[in-house]
Amino acid sequence: MDDTSQNMFTEGLSLYTQVLKFPLSYKVTQYNELNMKGMILNVTKTEFDFNIASFNKTDEGAIIHIKLGSHRLLEYKGIFKKFIDFMSLFNIPFADIQLRLNSKGIPVEVLNQPEIFTRWVNLREGELKTFLTDNSVKPIIEGADKDFSDSLQAIKDSLFYQFLLPPVYGECSQKPIHKVIVQSQLYQSEKFPVAIEENFISSTPQEVEIIQAGKFNIDWSKLETLYDKQYKAICNDAKFDYNVLYQAKYRYLTRYGVMRDCIAEFLENTANKSIVSKQTFNIQFIKTN
């Protein structure tokens, strides 16, 4: 975004927070799919409400208060229903988050960390208590203990918040506008540094459209070695041929500089698309209070 556009959004957001009432309500549809040789191994489609309870500019960035509604399951593979229900419980501690953002829109502090951890303890000693002695879910519980006791990194690593916070609430004019670390879904041990660059698409009196895309820094030799171990045999010795896409398209209300909607996707495929992972988010502005 150039300086003129950035000034428009900054001034618009300032006006917006003065004249419109919070919360700002969005509806989010999240879709995850793993496809192997044309067969869908797993798919989940969920919907949840995302509310910005308050947003206040500061000299260093902003303070944002986020409230999330419960996840509604729209599509799933029947054999995974119990596991999906189990994992959905882990959304509860993050139902209410207060963050301090820097000028790039990157979270630098979780302001209500004790409340998040208290919700986790109540969940662990309540609905999850019967699972605490189950060795099959022990790593999940231990990971949650870490994430909910010190949540900043977990939020920064969240694909949803990576698509939402820096692009929408950051004030950046340089390229790349920001950098993130993305967890591969096909190669679970790997995390990729991604530099995000932004391109202006179009503008009308009503809205501005912008697209952001990521440039990956990948150790190709290491990844191909992992492919040989994990997938080559089941892909009939097909070539490695790994491709990845990290992209989001945003539309903003010109008058206020506020996001109207966003379609974001993180796609991976390997072995001439024999194995495909899809993660998408569709974020739609609903209303103000």
Query: What amino acid occupies position 170?
Result: G
Stretch 217-221: mean pLDDT: 96
Element (H, E) at 142: helix 138-149
Q: What is the pTM of this model?
A: 0.88
DSSP summary character for residue 242: -
Give pLDDT tens digits for 151-204.
999 999 999 999 999 888 887 655 667 889 999 999 999 999 999 988 888 888
Structure confidence at residue 168 (pLDDT): 85
**What total number of domains does the chain contain?**
1
Stretch 104-120: mean pLDDT: 97
Q: How far apart are CA 260 and CA 257, in angstroms?
A: 9
Query: What amino acid occupies position 31?
Result: Y
DSSP summary character for residue 269: E
Structure confidence at residue 16 (pLDDT): 47
- Encoding tokens for residue 75? 């599509």
Q: How confident is the model at residue 9 (pLDDT cuts 50, 70, 90)?
A: very low
Q: In which region does residue 38 sit, left (phi positive, over 0), alpha (psi from -120 to 50) or beta (all else)?
A: left
Q: Strand, coil or helix: what is 276?
A: strand
The parent domain of residue 167 ranges over 3-288
Structure confidence at residue 235 (pLDDT): 96
Q: Which residues lie below 8 Å from residue 123, measured CB to CB, with a gap of 6+?
A: 89, 90, 92, 93
Measured CA distances, 12 to 1, 55, 57, 230, 256 (Å): 15, 13, 12, 50, 4
- Encoding tokens for residue 41? 């191994």
In Å, how far from its chain's centre is CA 229? 29
Q: How confident is the model at residue 213 (pLDDT cuts 50, 70, 90)?
A: very high
